[in-house]
């Protein structure tokens, strides 16, 4: 619940900027609020995945210590707003999120920005392999879920780099759900029981892949990733950081501990959670809390006194 307070605060502070076209202002307000509340949490956290290197971000930078210094030592991944462009445009699926795991257990993939990822529910375990063509994976998942291929829905970021992938999905007979941003929510929805999304696939942020893995541990789902460097320089930076290329990272490689937490509060409405909204004298938020060790999924609806956030 302490972590939920931090994501709630970030979402609430971002709310006035929804649809205002200024993603930097929205992100700045969310970062300030999250940093303030994290300082009260009873743990010794180190930001493994944050807003960037110290010289590029004044707060929540990679390597920063957060929390009150007491309690367990932990790695932490933060994104005060996953979907700043969505927030600025007033579009769906923007989240404020935090992932936490035991100290030293999160893969630090910050030196290589992109990762090829594939995420499904538990049905994909032992069935899906990122090295296989997408049509083979779709057919295998359809068989495992006992669904016609024509009913399989695959979430993909709507990017020029995915034009060929989208065509292959359609050629395989499956449907697509194109996401403007926010593949963390897409991955979680793919692993969530009862979701309308069966698979999330494509090239997205490496840090987001690690954060998603924390949630997948709680959901009992499936995730694989392969680092996707854009330049030789980036590849060398990854090698210098100890990362492995041409290698499939499983969930246990992305996060080695099962003692994981994933917390997200909606900034704008989405399939995972509803967005923050002002309702007269209150501000209403909806959050989700996933715990890896127990497999528990909690939804937290809260009403906040608006004047206290003025």
Taking only the tens place, the pLDDT of each residue in 62-100 is 888 999 988 899 999 999 999 899 999 999 989 999 999
| Confidence category of residue 57, pLDDT binned at 50, 70, 90 | low
Q: Is 16 annotated for ligand binding? A: no
Q: Containing H/E element for 79?
A: strand 73-82
Whole-angstrom distance between the N-terminal and C-terminal Cα of the chain? 23
> Among 3.60.15.10, 3.30.540.10, 3.10.20.30, 3.90.470.10, what is the CATH number of 2-103+260-309?
3.30.540.10
Q: Is 183 annotated for ligand binding? A: yes
The CATH-assigned architecture of domain 114-254 is 3-Layer(aba) Sandwich (3.40)
Q: Strand 296-305 relative to strand 153-157: parallel, antiparallel, unpaired?
A: unpaired
Q: What is the pLDDT of residue 63?
A: 87
Neighbours of 244 (CB within 10 A): 12
Residue 109 reports pLDDT greater than 90? no
Q: Is 182 annotated for ligand binding? A: yes
Q: Is 261 annotated for ligand binding? A: no
Q: Do domains 2-103+260-309 and 114-254 have the same CATH topology?
A: no
Q: Is 84 annotated for ligand binding? A: yes
Taking only the tens place, the pLDDT of each residue in 196-243 is 999 999 999 898 899 999 999 999 999 999 999 999 999 999 999 999
Q: Is 181 annotated for ligand binding? A: yes
Give me the residue spans of the domains in the chain.
2-103+260-309, 114-254
Q: In Å, what is the CA distance from 188 to each residue of 16, 55, 60, 265?
A: 27, 31, 24, 13
Average pLDDT over residues 21-47: 93
Q: Is 249 annotated for ligand binding? A: no
């Amino acid at each position: 619940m302490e972590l939920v307070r931090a994501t709630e605060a970030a979402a609430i502070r971002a709310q006035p900027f929804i649809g205002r076209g200024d993603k930097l202002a929205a992100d700045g307000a969310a970062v300030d609020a999250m940093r303030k509340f994290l300082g009260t949490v009873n743990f010794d956290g180190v930001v493994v995945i944050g807003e960037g290197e110290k010289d590029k971000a004044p707060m929540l930078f990679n390597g920063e210590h957060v929390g009150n210094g007491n309690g367990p030592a932990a790695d932490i991944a933060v994104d005060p707003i996953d979907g700043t462009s969505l927030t600025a445009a007033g579009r769906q699926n923007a989240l404020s999120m935090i992932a936490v795991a035991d100290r030293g257990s999160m893969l630090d993939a910050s030196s290589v920005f992109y990762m090829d990822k594939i995420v499904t529910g538990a049905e994909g375990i032992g069935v899906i392999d990122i090295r296989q063509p997408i049509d083979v994976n779709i057919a295998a998942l359809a068989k495992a879920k006992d669904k016609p291929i024509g009913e399989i829905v695959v979430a993909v970021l709507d990017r020029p780099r995915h034009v060929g992938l989208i065509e292959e999905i359609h050629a395989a007979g499956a449907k697509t759900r194109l996401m403007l941003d926010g593949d963390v929510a897409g991955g979680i929805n793919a692993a969530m029981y009862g979701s309308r999304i069966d698979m999330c696939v494509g090239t997205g942020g490496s840090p987001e892949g690690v954060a998603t893995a924390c949630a997948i541990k709680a959901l009992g789902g499936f995730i694989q990733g392969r680092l996707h460097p854009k330049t030789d320089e980036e590849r060398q930076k990854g090698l210098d950081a100890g990362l492995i290329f041409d290698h499939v990272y499983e969930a246990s490689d992305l996060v080695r501990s099962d003692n994981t937490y994933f917390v997200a509060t909606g900034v704008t409405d989405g399939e995972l959670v509803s967005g923050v909204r002002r309702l007269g004298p209150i501000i209403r938020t909806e959050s989700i809390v996933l715990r890896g060790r127990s497999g528990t999924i909690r939804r937290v609806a809260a009403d906040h006194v608006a004047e206290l956030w003025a």
